[in-house]
């Protein structure tokens, strides 16, 4: 079904810049369109608030808060916000367009995912939420619909429309926000939220990825809410027998009904996920699996054996026997020892020699085991542990700390372990040493003074300083040249964590009044707009109007609006007025004639003269009955 039919925004250019091409999604607060930025010639997603909500100031504030919140999150797994603005009654966000599908699409099509694939998706989601939590925000509406999986396999978190500052008390006044299947008990009971509500929702999402179903089911939202408050999330292995117990524990920790028992934020849950991967022998994953791999893996294919099978002997020795089929290529249980000849007529000397050889091999085997295995252990997982906890754990495993390095980290708290060398799970000699890398917390940087700097140069300087260019908002300025920075948010000289996004306000230059070109011939209208410093785009569809064919029927923005030099005005050309047959009203009373002509789509003007001041009969009409005239035009009736 074509979702763009009857949509008044499709084909329109918003704010003289964003051409709306197609509608791609409709939500409770806004509609999302695929659009083209005519200035930068790039495809993006345009999120436009429903007009009915745009009249509500609180909704507009909340909508704009989304833009500001996400713009601060310069993270590769968060859908980027480019711009925010208004055009008449429309309030919009210009956002990154992600070609692909949602996690909900994958689950609906494929059902349960393999454990490795589920963790491959969960890790970048937690990385994105961890950045949000570190910045002081909670998503509050995590669900598979808000996890986007690009065609290139990248995973991004979308729809921060419900974000709220961590230290803000949330009062929903009886209205519970978010999807009921993913709400934490404290959201339902108290209406408040901190990062642990996102942890809870991610635990539910993980359960759904592992089993293909939601853990809560009911005939009404009230039943599901009751289960959140009174029942633990069941272990996923109850629905999919054979899933590792470590995954059951991970889901249980994330979805604990008592918030204090859960990991404190997404970064802490991410550390638990990585530890679980190591325990399960899945290694670590920096990049998510592409959608095809995510959807196509078999769960059983990801299980690993607790004890690996020993390698076969390099040169298997055939047994000496009767030549039966069972004697071919039979090997000793010791693997590397030649099998014993089965003949009973052996001398006692031979038997003693044989026993001695076996004992010797067993002794050598024990020695080889000690040399190859007994002297070695594995580096334990230490991510997110304090330095003291890491030292204790290493000491328990017979390992020392060689030295401690420090580095900045946006996701791991100051004083906690960021990594080890060798890495967790690596084979290492007992009594050997491990290098710990401990977080110094986020690096701080002063925001440079960018006033008067061109946008491209400003972005480059922010990156050079270790900051990220954030959302760009444009405004008119008589003092700052078009395309240069007016100010930053936060202000120049403010200290921020390295990697923080800095919002830029860029000058549109002096405002230009859009001239009224409706009713003009198209070429004349183009010339007038060019003289005003504006560009022109002509809509592909023509419309009927009161204006003659080839004249401008309407324009966007309308006349009198302020635009920046170089902005685009979209013109819609008239295909002429609609011609309608004029009714014959001669001889009718004035009231009858007026009603008949108005019902046919005409305006009516009366000509009474001196002789018709007291008359009530139509003696003539400006266009004869049966002829045609433009709909909406005026028919003059003569009264005598």
Active site residues: 141
Residue 316 CB-half CA count within 13 A: 11
Reported as type and span, the H/E element at residue 556 is strand 552-556
Whole-angstrom Cα distance, residue 237 to residue 257?
Answer: 19
| Three-state SS at 459 | helix
Residue 208 CB-half CA count within 13 A: 23
Q: Return the structure tokens found at 84.
A: 């925010």
Whole-angstrom Cα distance, residue 156 to residue 130?
Answer: 13
For 347-384, b/e burial (b = at least 16 CB within 10 A) is: eeeeeeeeeeeeeeeeeeeeeeeeeeeeeebebbbbbb
**Cβ contact 225:209 at 8 Å:** no
Query: What residues form DSSP beta bridges with 137?
Result: 165
Nearest Cα residue to 36 out of 53, 52, 17, 23? 17
CA 138 to chain centre: 14
Specify the DSSP class assigned to residue 174. T
CA 379 to chain centre: 35
CA dist 596 → 242, 583, 637 (Å): 81, 7, 12
**Cβ contact 34:45 at 8 Å:** yes
Pairing assessment for the beta strands 100-102 and 147-150 based on DSSP bridges: antiparallel
CA dist 409 → 347, 438, 441 (Å): 74, 9, 5
CB atoms within 10 A of CB 334: 13
CB atoms within 10 A of CB 208: 23
Q: Please give the torsion angle defined by the CA atoms of residues 542, 543, 545 and 547, in that order, rounded to the nearest 10 degrees.
A: 0
**Cβ contact 522:536 at 8 Å:** no
| Three-state SS at 45 | strand
Q: Please give the torsion angle defined by the CA atoms of residues 7, 8, 11 and 16, in that order, rounded to the nearest 10 degrees.
A: -140
Nearest Cα residue to 336 out of 319, 313, 355? 313
| Three-state SS at 543 | strand
* Prior bond of 612 cis (ω within 30°): no
Whole-angstrom Cα distance, residue 142 to residue 293?
Answer: 23
Burial tier of 128 (Cβ tally within 10 Å: 0-12, 13-18, 19+): buried
Q: Please give the torsion angle defined by the CA atoms of residues 37, 43, 44 and 45, in that order, rounded to the nearest 10 degrees.
A: 110
């Amino acid at each position: 079904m074509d979702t763009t039919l009857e949509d008044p925004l499709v084909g329109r250019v918003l704010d003289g810049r964003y051409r709306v091409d197609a509608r791609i999604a409709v939500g409770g607060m806004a509609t999302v369109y695929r659009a083209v930025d005519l200035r930068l010639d790039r495809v993006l997603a345009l999120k436009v608030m429903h007009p009915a909500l745009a009249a509500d100031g609180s909704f507009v504030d909340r909508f704009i808060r989304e833009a500001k919140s996400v713009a601060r999150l310069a993270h590769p797994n968060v859908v980027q916000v480019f711009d925010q603005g208004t055009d008449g009654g429309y309030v919009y966000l210009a956002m990154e367009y992600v070609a692909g599908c949602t996690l909900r699409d994958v689950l609906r099509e494929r059902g349960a995912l393999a454990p490795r694939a589920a963790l491959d998706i969960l890790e970048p989601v937690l990385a994105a939420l961890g950045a949000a939590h570190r910045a002081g925000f909670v998503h509050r509406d995590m669900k598979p619909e808000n996890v986007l999986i690009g065609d290139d396999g990248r995973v991004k978190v979308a729809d921060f429309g419900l974000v709220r500052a961590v230290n803000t008390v949330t009062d929903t006044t009886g209205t519970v926000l978010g999807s009921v299947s993913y709400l934490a008990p404290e959201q339902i009971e108290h209406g408040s939220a901190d990062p642990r509500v996102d942890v809870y929702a991610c635990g539910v999402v993980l359960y759904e990825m592992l089993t293909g179903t939601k853990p809560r089911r009911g005939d009404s939202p009230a039943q599901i809410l009751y289960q959140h408050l009174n029942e633990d999330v069941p272990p996923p292995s109850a629905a999919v027998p054979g899933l590792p117990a470590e995954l059951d524990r991970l889901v249980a920790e994330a979805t604990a009904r008592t918030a204090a028992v859960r990991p404190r934020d997404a970064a802490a849950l991410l550390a638990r996920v990585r530890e679980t991967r190591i325990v399960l022998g899945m290694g670590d994953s920096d990049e998510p699996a592409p959608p095809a791999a995510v959807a196509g893996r078999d769960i059983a294919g990801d299980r690993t054996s607790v004890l690996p099978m020993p390698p076969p002997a390099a040169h298997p020795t055939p047994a000496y026997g009767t030549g039966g089929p069972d004697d071919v290529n039979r090997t000793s249980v010791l693997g590397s020892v030649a099998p014993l000849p089965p003949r009973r007529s052996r001398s006692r000397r031979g038997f003693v020699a044989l026993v001695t050889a076996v004992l010797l091999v067993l002794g050598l085997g024990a020695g080889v085991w000690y040399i190859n295995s007994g002297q070695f252990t594995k580096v334990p997982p230490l991510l997110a542990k304090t330095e003291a906890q890491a030292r204790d754990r290493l000491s328990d495993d017979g390992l020392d700390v060689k030295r401690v390095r420090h580095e900045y980290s946006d996701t791991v708290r100051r004083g906690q372990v960021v990594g080890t060398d060798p890495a967790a799970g690596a084979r290492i000699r007992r009594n050997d040493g491990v290098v710990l890398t401990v977080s110094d917390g986020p690096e701080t940087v002063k925001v440079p003074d960018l006033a008067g700097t061109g946008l491209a140069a400003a972005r480059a300087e922010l990156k050079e300083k270790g900051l990220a260019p954030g959302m760009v908002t444009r405004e008119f300025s008589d003092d700052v040249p078009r395309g240069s920075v007016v100010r930053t948010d936060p202000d120049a000289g403010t200290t921020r964590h390295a990697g923080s996004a800095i919002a830029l306000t860029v000058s549109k230059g002096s405002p230009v009044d859009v001239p009224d070109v409706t009713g003009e011939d198209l070429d004349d209208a183009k010339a007038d707009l060019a003289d005003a410093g504006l560009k022109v785009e002509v809509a592909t569809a023509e419309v009927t109007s009161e204006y003659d064919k080839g004249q401008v029927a309407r324009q966007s923005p309308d006349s009198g609006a302020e635009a920046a030099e170089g902005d685009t005005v979209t013109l819609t050309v008239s295909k002429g007025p609609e011609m309608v047959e004029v009714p014959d009203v001669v001889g009718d009373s004035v009231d009858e004639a007026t009603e008949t002509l108005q019902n046919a789509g005409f305006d009516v003007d009366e000509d009474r003269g001196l002789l018709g001041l007291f008359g009530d009969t139509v003696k003539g009409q400006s266009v004869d009955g049966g002829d045609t005239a433009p709909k909406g035009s005026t028919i003059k009736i003569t009264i005598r």
